[in-house]
């Protein structure tokens, strides 16, 4: 019986630990995605374009109605030159792919936030 419990713990423990380590990253990615989704909804409601801007240091996302501040070591990087996402009243957007990272180096964790150019949909992808 003890051997079975030990084997089960050996299988479950790494995934539980990974979940605890990733939680700040997941939280940051979900909060950033929520800010983007809110901006999209605001553009549709108002009938005017709404922009979400990423700061040059990657620690701040700002929309006309909300700001997300990330504490180190978390930051967001634009995968290209798209430091702003503009949502249009139709629900469409200027597409973007932003990466939320915990740090640099081989142990860094990351999640991608993608804004579809065709639909304006905001999706968080984790490796």
The residue ranges of every structural domain in the chain are 24-125
The structure's pTM equals: 0.80
Q: Quick one: average pLDDT of 82-90?
A: 95
108 pLDDT band, cuts 50/70/90, is confident
Residues 6+ apart with CB under 8 A from 78: 54, 96, 97, 98
- Reply yes or no on whether the pLDDT at 81 is more than 80: yes
Supply the pLDDT for residue 32: 97
The tokens for 88 are 């249009």
Q: Quick one: average pLDDT of 53-81?
A: 94
Architecture of domain 24-125 in this structure: 3-Layer(bab) Sandwich (3.55)
Nearest to 75 by CA among 92, 46, 90, 55: 55
Write out the E strands in the chain. 50-54, 60-62, 67-69, 75-78, 84-87, 96-101, 110-115, 122-125
Supply the pLDDT for residue 5: 44
Mean pLDDT of the chain: 85
> Pick the residue with more confidence: 8 or 66?
66
CA–CA separation, 112 vs 122, rounded Å? Answer: 10
Supply the pLDDT for residue 120: 95
Supply the pLDDT for residue 21: 47
Supply the pLDDT for residue 4: 53
> Pick the residue with more confidence: 66 or 6?
66
């Amino acid at each position: 019986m003890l051997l079975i419990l030990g084997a089960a713990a050996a299988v479950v423990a790494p995934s539980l630990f990974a979940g605890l380590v990733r939680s700040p990253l997941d939280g940051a990615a979900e909060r950033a995605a929520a800010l983007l989704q809110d901006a999209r909804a605001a553009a549709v409601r108002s009938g005017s374009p709404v922009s979400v801007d990423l700061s040059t240091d990657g620690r701040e996302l700002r929309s006309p109605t909300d700001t997300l501040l990330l504490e180190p070591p978390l930051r967001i990087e634009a995968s290209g030159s798209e430091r702003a996402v503009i949502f249009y009243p139709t629900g469409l957007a200027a597409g973007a792919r932003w990466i939320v990272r915990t740090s640099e180096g081989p142990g860094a964790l990351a999640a991608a936030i993608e804004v579809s150019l065709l639909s304006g949909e905001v999706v968080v992808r984790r490796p």
